[in-house]
């Protein structure tokens, strides 16, 4: 198991060091600094073995978190734990920075004592941690409160405490998708997938039982066989159902039920959480198409023309559109002409950045640029990185639709109808690249 | 709140000031001071001098302060054991506190203080906490047992904590169960043979129930523990798989990977024709792909594991090539791993896409990545024959870019392509030669030189090219020197007239001016070959090369199996067994995949069926784990090299005088105008040493393969014997896991009066095995090999050879337990391995074992009744005559037969090879399948073994 956990700043100074196992000594702290943080070369692996000691590290801004062990630990678990650790710290004191860590080092030690015991990760849900790791002491608690804390920390529903009350029962549901694309210069889709998340904010009283339904192909097909075909036929919004390649769920979701019936039922945590993640690869709506044209005019000039086309309903508006056209390292000057939005050559980023605030569906826009190059004797050819794009659209590129979200709370007297529900779809660009 | 100020105290006299503050009356000031101490401790300053002052602050109601003091204690208690005792009282008191959080805190901290005296006081509070009413305290106490075990294992056993821990597996709270499982698994690892984690269907069921309810971390502990279990049959295996598959949808990647591990392992047991098997295969792909959208570090772990999974079961991800395409922004470690997997998944169906991608990658910036991409193109060519042509032209395009490292990588892989597809792409040699000057890396230079040497007859100026390399011979790396030597010798054999001088030059450079023994040896070998028998030299040096295999970097099958059992862990990231990087006994136990054992009708292999049917009472072979356990004289074995067993070395050609090595022989090759080269060579002092090594390099293929042995002739149902002696089926004596890839299975037989040990040697490693030899430890009947182990040809990877070894019974005698136990040592070029096996005593029954009737009667009476033992043989459906003739085949002779009241009484005699007589009376009642047998012998200890033989013979 994890033998120790260290946090360093960018210089390699230790900010936090907590040792859990006897086989990890102080020299481990230095070994990591010398061999990884101060290493001359770029780090080639997130797992490093130095003198039979293994170091796992992740970096957040310029802070290094390193877990150390001498055993054959579950490597995936160690990384998951490090991410979790970052989440917990972030939810206590915001950004993970040297300043914040130094300011909260006592708290961090207290957290480390609680969520890692002898190197074994323990309950690390911020919701329940915040009930008893408060930096205020736990003096004032009554016996009932204490046992409530412990039963929640160890219990089956560790993510929700009892006795939550809201005057207004409200639910916010966001379908957030990032659409990823790699396209060849000729417009052939090399790979495309949507990775989506269903993020919820729930403000519900009691211990409500929720059931979430979407246009999952497997469910719809099953229901279709049952004789409800004409209902599905009425739907006019393009695709009726989507094929989900794979999905993962928050730990509140009953996995065995999903496995057997494919229904998503759960008792939600309070406040904001991620209910599920999913991935689709079939019938993706690619909101934009990028058509590049690069011409080398002699050894000192490049002509670039890029057309973007929006490919969704004209009534919808895409926002925050940004096209990034990479330029060679030996660029000396750039002239840009674009019909819409603003374009600028950013020498420090080796790219022309073209920004458009809004663009409706089924439109087209273009940019052309002349790039002047300094003559070099560098034999190596310019690698021509792909043209990348960022945008935000108000629909789900995967075609996912929320069909229902039902809330049942039998003990308190509110019903599904009394809950106010909000649903929103946002599609963003992930890695959306076109080779040129 | 700005605690960061505590980090910035660097003035002198700090310790002194802190001491004063720690002893202050004001609570706030105390707390500030402790924080300063902890901050100093963090940065690595030694604040142990403040120990008593900090411990004094322990008695406090302020939980925050208490936790800080505990943190300090955990760090320094070991260096101040005497003072640490001061803290004991507070701990013991806290363990009784009304607040469960404080009780847990106390027991958690106490377990982290590695001081014997404190540990003693820990036992009582720990016992209480293990049975605490609050689950939070119990889950903490469970982990504490593991802590205590790490400090003092004996104490934990003596105090009975292990049993309490086992009880916690049935706890009502899932988190307690998970922590108990984690603690037990850890303790069990340091006691590999204990049956601590007594996993049985009931406890597995409990774990599976807890799995649905506990935290994500708890699920990992439980899944990792489940992976150590071996289900009894395929049904149990399937039902566990069914309950584990929902975990594949968990958001935590570690849960997913651990579930994959369990499934991959248990799948081994499922029959392949089962519907569920293919369903399971289909279910595994999507979660593995999803892992690739995790954070980069996890992607890396996932990719390293996928690399293993793809090697074990390529069918799972064969349609998922696209997800492994490299993204521009991937960290380099992810890119390199993806590339590896792309090559593994490359097939005829997707090769076009893969090649287009690889070509793209070859123009990237990162040098390592580009190199790997170029190399990958070559590997595709070798793997997918249909694509070879396209790959070669892609490589040529890349060579045209003239980017130095791209060109060099391309040449290295083109060499391999030549090896795979001879006489197909040699037209590109001209292009390669153009780039000769730009090669500055040893591997590329060596590859180029190999190409020039191999195709010397097609390259007009081959001699000039090689000569140009020869100028800086001593500055080259060994790799290049060796290659240059070989290439010039090849060139010489192909064009002897023009290149004598060159070959002479390189031979003297290699043998006289070099201090590298490898180079010198190779030089001498060539020299001698050329001088003794140029025709043979040609045959050896220009021999047809075996084609290279498709996959060059596969993990050895045995290691792969072990790594599959370690999916998700560091071992799977390093691709090394845990013993390679873990110190001490922990995790050194080798894990194996379970064998596919059907529950009855679903067995697929007929072998298994027969083996199970013949219920021969043979004990499972046991491996003698290390040399340390061996009895004295086995250790003293002088393992003879196989030279004595092989055919007589071809000495005829070697009897030439040492002086004129390159003499006459070469003349015939070179024609008349050659001047003798021998003169200045003969005096070389090392000549003699090199001489003896010569036969060793003669390719083994020259000796015609002589596998098997005479014994095989008789294998067809014992043709050479009237009835056929009973031969037990072959069983695995030495699994490959234990013997660096050598698997030995075998049996014993007596054929025409000769005892034979029949062995099947299988090489499951990646390298060739040679130099086999065998010896026995002293044993009960003086068994010893009558000749050397006849393995004449080297055993290549995945090759199998059957050998039969005649045995004599004149070796040294020592009574073994059990009597028929035989300890064997087998040596090969890799190591010496030890195992033990049991032979059926029937092979010691000699042919002249038929006693005279009168002698029998007298002997029967003479042997005291105490020496008589009776046994039952059940379910035997032979009549007495059939039984009698069957037994006779195994040299058990029937002397007389009597029938009393429908019961046949057969009197039989047996003579063992060491002269012991065994007399038997077999009673057979018609219609009753149960025989009764009475054995009488002066050495009653053999009776049990003899009875086993009866049973084995009669039932087969």
Residue pLDDT, tens place only, B18-49: 888 888 888 888 888 888 888 888 887 888 88
Q: Is A123 on the interface with B (CB under 8 A)?
A: yes
- The encoded tokens of residue B14 equal 């700090």
Query: Parallel, antiparallel, or unpaired: how do β-strands B903-911 and B784-785 relate?
Result: unpaired
Q: Specify the pLDDT at position B702.
A: 38
Q: What is the spatial distance between Cα B126 and Cα B91, in angstroms, rounded to a whole number?
A: 11
**Distance in Å, alpha carbon of B23 to nearest chain A alpha carbon:** 20
Please give the residue that has the higher pLDDT: either B792 or B555.
Answer: B555
Q: Which residue of A has its CA nearest to B36?
A: A106
Which of B214, B178, B185, B253 is CA-nearest to residue B567?
Answer: B253
Contact B212 A255 (CB under 8 A): yes
Q: Is A360 on the interface with B (CB under 8 A)?
A: no
Which of B270, B290, B293 is CA-nearest to residue B280?
Answer: B270
Q: What is the mean pLDDT of chain B?
A: 80
Torsion over CA of B430, B431, B437 and B442, rounded to 10 degrees? -90
Of B253, B293, B573, the CB nearest to A47: B573
**pLDDT of B377 strictly over 90:** yes
Name A34's Cβ contacts closer than 8 Å, sequence gap at least 6.
none
Contact A105 B6 (CB under 8 A): yes
Q: What is the spatial distance between Cα B635 and Cα B618, in angstroms, rounded to a whole number?
A: 27
Contact B328 A193 (CB under 8 A): no
Contact A105 B42 (CB under 8 A): yes
What angle (nearest 5°) sits at the alpha carbon of residue B556, between those of residues B551 and B560?
110
Distances (CA, A) of B887 to B758, B878, B908: 22, 11, 9
Of A74, A117, A137, the CB nearest to B224: A74
pLDDT in tens, B406-443: 999 999 999 889 888 888 888 888 888 888 888 888 99
Cβ-Cβ contacts under 8 Å between A and B: the total is 286
Q: What is the spatial distance between Cα B590 and Cα B571, in angstroms, rounded to a whole number?
A: 12
Please give the residue that has the higher pLDDT: either B801 or A427.
Answer: A427
pLDDT in tens, B642-675: 333 334 434 333 433 333 434 444 444 444 443 4
Which of B556, B491, B563 is CA-nearest to residue B797?
Answer: B556
Q: Is A99 on the interface with B (CB under 8 A)?
A: yes
Compute φ and ψ for B638, nearest 5 degrees: -105, 95
Place of tokens 């719809």: A220
DSSP code of residue A342: E
Q: What is the spatial distance between Cα B907 and Cα B904, in angstroms, rounded to a whole number?
A: 10
Residue B600: left (phi > 0), alpha (psi -120 to 50), or beta? left
CB B947 within 8 A of CB B932: no
**pLDDT of A285 strictly over 80:** yes
Contacts of B111 in chain A (CB under 8 A): 118
Q: What is the spatial distance between Cα B264 and Cα B292, in angstroms, rounded to a whole number?
A: 19
Query: What b/e readout covers B809-822, taking b as 16+ CB neighbours within 10 angstroms?
Result: bebeeeebeebbbb
Q: Helix B100-111 crosses helix B63-76 at what angle (to 10 degrees)?
A: 10
Contact B136 A29 (CB under 8 A): no
Which of A146, A366, A174, A312 is CA-nearest to residue B105?
Answer: A146
Give the residue from B297, B320, B566 with the most A CB atoms within 10 Å of its CB, the best one to mutate.
Answer: B297
CB A12 within 8 A of CB A91: no
Which strands, in side-by-side order, build the sheet including B773-776?
A: B622-623, B832-838, B821-827, B773-776
Q: Is A73 on the interface with B (CB under 8 A)?
A: yes
Contact B247 A19 (CB under 8 A): no
Q: Specify the pLDDT at position A381.
A: 64
CB A219 within 8 A of CB A235: no
DSSP line for B373-439: HHHHHHHHHHH-GGGHHHHHHHHHHHHHT--HHHHHHHHHHHHHHHHHSTTTSGGGHHHHHHTGGG-
Which of B87, B132, B139, B134 is CA-nearest to residue B113?
Answer: B87
Torsion over CA of B871, B873, B874 and B875, rounded to 10 degrees? -170
CB A95 within 8 A of CB A61: yes
Place of tokens 């730009």: B438
**How many other C-beta atoms can be found within 10 angstroms of the C-beta atom of residue B697?**
13
CB B868 within 8 A of CB B925: no
Whether A301 has a binding-site annotation, put simply, is no
Q: What is the spatial distance between Cα B528 and Cα B537, in angstroms, rounded to a whole number?
A: 9
Alpha helices in A66-213 (DSSP H): 75-93, 98-103, 105-115, 126-132, 143-154
**Is the peptide bond between A299 and the residue preceding it cis, with omega within 30 degrees of 0?**
no
Torsion over CA of A228, A229, A235 and A240, rounded to 10 degrees? 100
DSSP code of residue A67: E
Contact A249 B251 (CB under 8 A): yes
**Distance in Å, alpha carbon of B367 to nearest chain A alpha carbon:** 12
**pLDDT of A288 strictly over 90:** yes
**pLDDT of B812 strictly over 90:** no
For chain A positions 137-156, those within 8 Å of chain B (CB to CB) are 137-139, 141, 143, 146-147, 149-151, 153-156
DSSP line for B46-86: --GGGHHHHHHT-S-S-HHHHHHHHHHHHHHGGG-HHHHGG
How far is Cα of residue B361 from the mean position of the Cα atoms in its chain? Answer: 35
Compute φ and ψ for A308, nearest 5 degrees: -115, 140
Q: Which residue of A has its CA nearest to B181?
A: A120
Name A306's Cβ contacts closer than 8 Å, sequence gap at least 6.
A290, A291, A292, A293, A323, A325, A354, A366, A367, A368, A387
**How many other C-beta atoms can be found within 10 angstroms of the C-beta atom of residue B51?**
20
Q: Which residue of B has its CA nearest to A189?
A: B322
CB A267 within 8 A of CB A252: yes
Overall pTM surpassing 0.90 (yes/no)? no
CB B581 within 8 A of CB B570: yes
Classify burial at B839, counting beta carbons within 10 Å of its beta carbon; exposed 0-12, middle 13-18, buried 19 or more.
Answer: buried
Which of B342, B247, B245 is CA-nearest to residue B292?
Answer: B342
Give the residue from B4, B240, B256 with the most A CB atoms within 10 Å of its CB, the best one to mutate.
Answer: B4
**Distance in Å, alpha carbon of B35 to nearest chain A alpha carbon:** 7
ipTM above 0.90, yes or no: no
Contact A154 B139 (CB under 8 A): yes
Distances (CA, A) of B109 to B99, B533, B811: 16, 79, 63
Q: Which residue of A has its CA nearest to B140?
A: A117
DSSP line for A343-372: EEEEGGGTEEEEEEEEEETT-EEEEEEEEE
**Distance in Å, alpha carbon of A69 to nearest chain B alpha carbon:** 10
Q: What is the spatial distance between Cα B138 and Cα B127, in angstroms, rounded to a whole number?
A: 10
Contact B217 A120 (CB under 8 A): yes
pLDDT in tens, B868-884: 888 888 887 778 888 88
Q: Is A102 on the interface with B (CB under 8 A)?
A: yes
Give the residue from B38, B60, B298 with the most A CB atoms within 10 Å of its CB, the best one to mutate.
Answer: B298
Q: Specify the pLDDT at position B597.
A: 55
Contact A44 B581 (CB under 8 A): no
What angle (nearest 5°) sits at the alpha carbon of residue B454, between those of residues B450 and B459?
105
* Mean pLDDT, residues A87-104 taken together: 92
Q: What is the spatial distance between Cα A383 and Cα B364, in angstroms, rounded to a whole number?
A: 5
Whether A355 has a binding-site annotation, put simply, is yes
In DSSP terms, which residues pair with A177 in a beta bridge? A196, A427
What angle (nearest 5°) sits at the alpha carbon of residue B436, between those of residues B432 and B437?
150
pLDDT in tens, A58-79: 999 899 999 999 999 999 999 9
Which pLDDT band holds residue B641 (cuts at 50, 70, 90)?
very low
pLDDT in tens, A309-337: 999 999 999 999 999 999 988 889 999 99
**pLDDT of B177 strictly over 90:** yes
pLDDT in tens, A129-165: 888 887 765 555 677 777 777 777 776 677 887 778 8
pLDDT in tens, B485-518: 999 999 998 888 888 888 888 998 888 888 889 9
CB A424 within 8 A of CB A174: yes
């Amino acid at each position: 198991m994890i033998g120790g956990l260290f946090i360093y700043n960018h210089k390699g100074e230790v900010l936090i060091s907590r040792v859990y196992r006897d086989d990890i000594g102080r020299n481990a702290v230095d070994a990591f600094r010398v061999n990884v943080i101060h290493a001359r070369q770029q780090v080639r692996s997130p797992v490093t073995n130095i003198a039979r000691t293994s170091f796992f590290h992740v970096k957040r801004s310029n802070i290094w978190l390193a877990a150390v062990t001498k055993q054959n630990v579950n490597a995936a678990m160690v990384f998951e734990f490090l991410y979790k650790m970052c989440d917990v710290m972030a939810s206590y004191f915001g950004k993970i920075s040297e300043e914040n860590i130094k300011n909260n080092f006592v708290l961090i030690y207290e957290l480390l004592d609680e969520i890692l015991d002898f190197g074994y990760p323990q309950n690390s849900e911020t919701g329940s941690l915040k009930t008893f790791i408060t930096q205020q002491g736990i003096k004032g608690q009554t016996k009932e409160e204490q046992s409530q804390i412990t039963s929640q920390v160890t219990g089956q529903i560790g993510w929700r405490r009892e006795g939550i009350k809201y005057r207004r029962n409200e639910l916010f549901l966001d379908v957030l998708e990032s659409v990823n694309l790699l396209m060849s210069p000729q417009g052939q889709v090399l790979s495309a997938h949507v990775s989506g998340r269903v993020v919820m904010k729930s403000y519900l009283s009691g211990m409500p039982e929720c059931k979430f339904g979407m246009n999952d192909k497997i469910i719809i097909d099953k229901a279709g066989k049952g004789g409800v075909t004409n209902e599905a036929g009425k739907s006019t919004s393009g695709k009726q159902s989507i094929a989900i390649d794979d999905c993962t769920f928050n730990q509140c979701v009953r996995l065995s039920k999903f496995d057997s019936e494919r229904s998503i039922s759960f008792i939600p945590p309070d406040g904001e959480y991620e209910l599920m993640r999913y991935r689709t690869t079939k019938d993706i709506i690619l909101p934009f198409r990028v058509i590049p044209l690069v011409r080398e005019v002699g050894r000192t000039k490049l002509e670039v023309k890029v057309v973007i086309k929006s490919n969704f309903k004209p009534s919808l508006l895409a926002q925050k559109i940004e096209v990034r056209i990479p330029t060679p390292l030996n660029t000396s000057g750039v002239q840009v002409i674009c019909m819409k939005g603003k374009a600028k050559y950013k020498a420090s980023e080796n790219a022309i950045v073209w920004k458009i605030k809004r663009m409706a569906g089924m439109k087209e826009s273009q940019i052309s640029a002349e790039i002047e190059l300094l003559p070099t004797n560098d034999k190596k050819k310019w690698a021509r990185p792909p043209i990348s794009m960022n945008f935000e659209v108000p629909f789900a590129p995967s075609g996912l639709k929320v069909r229902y979200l039902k809330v049942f709370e039998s003990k308190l007297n509110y019903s599904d109808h009394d809950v106010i529900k909000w649903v929103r779809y946002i599609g963003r660009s992930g890695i959306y690249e076109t080779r040129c | 709140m700005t605690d960061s100020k505590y980090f910035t105290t660097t003035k002198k006299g700090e310790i002194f000031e802190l001491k004063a503050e720690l002893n202050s009356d004001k609570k706030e000031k105390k707390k500030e001071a402790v924080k300063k101490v902890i901050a100093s401790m963090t940065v690595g300053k030694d604040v142990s001098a403040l120990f008593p002052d900090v411990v004094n602050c322990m008695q406090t109601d302020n939980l925050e302060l208490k936790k800080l003091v505990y943190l300090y204690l955990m760090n320094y208690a070991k260096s101040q054991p005497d003072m640490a005792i001061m803290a004991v009282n507070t701990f013991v008191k806290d363990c009784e506190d009304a607040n469960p959080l404080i009780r847990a805190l106390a027991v958690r901290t106490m377990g982290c203080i590695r001081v014997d005296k404190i540990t003693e006081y820990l036992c009582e509070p720990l016992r209480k906490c293990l049975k605490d009413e609050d689950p939070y305290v119990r889950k903490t106490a469970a982990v504490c047992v593991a802590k205590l075990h790490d400090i003092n294992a004996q104490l934990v056993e003596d105090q009975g904590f292990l049993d309490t821990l086992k009880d916690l597996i049935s706890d009502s709270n899932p988190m307690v169960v998970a922590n108990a499982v984690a603690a037990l698994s850890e303790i069990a690892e340091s006691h590999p043979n204990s049956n601590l984690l007594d996993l049985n269907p009931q406890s597995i069921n409990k774990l599976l129930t807890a799995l649905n309810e506990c935290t994500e971390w708890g699920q990992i502990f439980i899944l990792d523990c489940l992976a150590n279990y071996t289900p009894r049959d395929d049904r149990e295996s399937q039902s566990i798989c069914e309950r584990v598959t929902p975990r594949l949808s968990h958001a935590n990647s570690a849960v997913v990977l651990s579930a994959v591990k369990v499934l991959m392992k248990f799948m081994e047991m499922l029959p392949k024709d089962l519907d569920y098997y293919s369903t399971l295969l289909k279910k595994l792909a999507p979660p593995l792909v999803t892992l690739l959208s995790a954070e980069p570090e996890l992607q890396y772990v996932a990719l390293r594991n996928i690399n293993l999974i793809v090697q074990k079961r390529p069918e799972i991800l064969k349609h998922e090539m696209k997800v492994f395409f490299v993204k521009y922004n991937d960290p380099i470690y992810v890119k390199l791993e993806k590339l590896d997997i792309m090559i593994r998944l490359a097939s005829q169906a997707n090769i076009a896409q893969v090649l287009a991608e690889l070509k793209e990658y070859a123009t990237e910036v990162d040098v390592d990545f580009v190199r790997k991409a170029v190399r990958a193109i070559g590997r595709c060519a070798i793997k997918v024959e249909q694509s070879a042509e396209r790959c070669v032209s892609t490589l040529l395009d890349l060579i045209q870019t003239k980017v130095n490292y791209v060109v060099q990588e391309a040449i290295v892989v083109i060499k391999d392509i030549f090896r795979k597809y001879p006489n197909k792409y040699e037209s590109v040699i001209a292009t390669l030669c153009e780039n000769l000057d730009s090669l500055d890396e040893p591997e590329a230079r060596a590859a180029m030189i190999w190409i020039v040497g191999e195709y010397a007859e097609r390259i007009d100026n081959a001699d000039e090219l090689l000569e140009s390399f020869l100028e800086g011979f001593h500055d080259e790396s060994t790799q290049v020197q060796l290659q240059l030597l070989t290439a010039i010798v090849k060139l010489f054999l192909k064009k002897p007239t023009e290149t004598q001088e060159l070959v002479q030059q390189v031979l003297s450079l290699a043998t006289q001016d070099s201090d590298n023994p490898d180079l010198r040896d190779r030089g001498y070998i060539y020299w001698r070959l050329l001088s003794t028998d140029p025709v043979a030299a040609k045959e050896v040096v220009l021999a047809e090369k075996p084609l290279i295999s498709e996959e060059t970097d596969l993990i050895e099958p045995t290691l792969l199996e072990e790594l599959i059992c370690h999916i998700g862990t560091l071992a799977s990231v390093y691709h090394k067994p845990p013993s390679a990087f873990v110190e001490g006994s922990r995790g050194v136990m080798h894990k194996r995949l379970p064998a596919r054992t059907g529950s009855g009708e679903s067995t697929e292999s007929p072998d298994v069926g027969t083996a199970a049917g013949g219920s021969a009472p043979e004990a499972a072979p046991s491996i003698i784990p290390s040399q340390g356990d061996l009895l004295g004289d086995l250790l003293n074995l002088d393992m003879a090299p196989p030279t004595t067993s092989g055919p007589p070395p071809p000495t005829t050609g070697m009897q030439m005088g040492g002086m004129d090595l390159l003499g006459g022989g070469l003349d015939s090759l070179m024609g008349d105008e050659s001047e003798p080269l021998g003169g200045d060579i003969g005096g070389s002092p090392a000549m003699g040493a090199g001489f003896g090594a010569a036969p060793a390099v003669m390719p083994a293929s020259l000796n015609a393969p002589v596998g098997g042995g005479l014994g095989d002739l008789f294998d067809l149902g014992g043709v050479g014997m009237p009835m056929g002696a009973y031969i037990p089926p072959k069983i695995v004596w030495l699994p490959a896991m234990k013997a660096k890839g050598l698997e030995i299975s075998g049996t014993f037989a007596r054929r025409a009066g000769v005892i034979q040990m029949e062995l099947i040697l299988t090489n499951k490693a990646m390298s060739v095995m040679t130099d086999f030899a065998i010896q026995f430890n002293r044993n009960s009947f003086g068994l010893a090999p009558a000749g050397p182990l006849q393995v004449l040809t080297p055993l290549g990877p995945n090759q199998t050879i059957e050998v039969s070894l005649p045995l004599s019974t004149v070796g040294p005698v020592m009574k073994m337990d059990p009597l028929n136990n035989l300890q064997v040592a087998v040596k090969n070029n890799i190591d010496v391995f030890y195992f033990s096996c049991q032979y059926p005593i029937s092979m010691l029954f000699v042919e002249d074992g038929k006693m005279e009737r009168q002698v029998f009667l007298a002997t029967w009476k003479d042997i005291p009744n105490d020496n008589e033992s009776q046994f039952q043989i059940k379910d035997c459906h032979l009549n007495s005559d059939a039984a009698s003739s069957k037994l006779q085949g195994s040299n058990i002779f029937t002397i007389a037969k009597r029938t009393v009241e429908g019961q046949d009484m057969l009197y039989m005699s047996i003579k063992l090879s060491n002269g012991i007589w065994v007399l038997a009376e077999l009673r057979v009642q018609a219609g009753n399948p149960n025989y009764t047998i009475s054995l009488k012998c002066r050495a009653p200890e053999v009776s049990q073994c003899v009875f086993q033989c009866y049973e084995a013979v009669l039932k087969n």
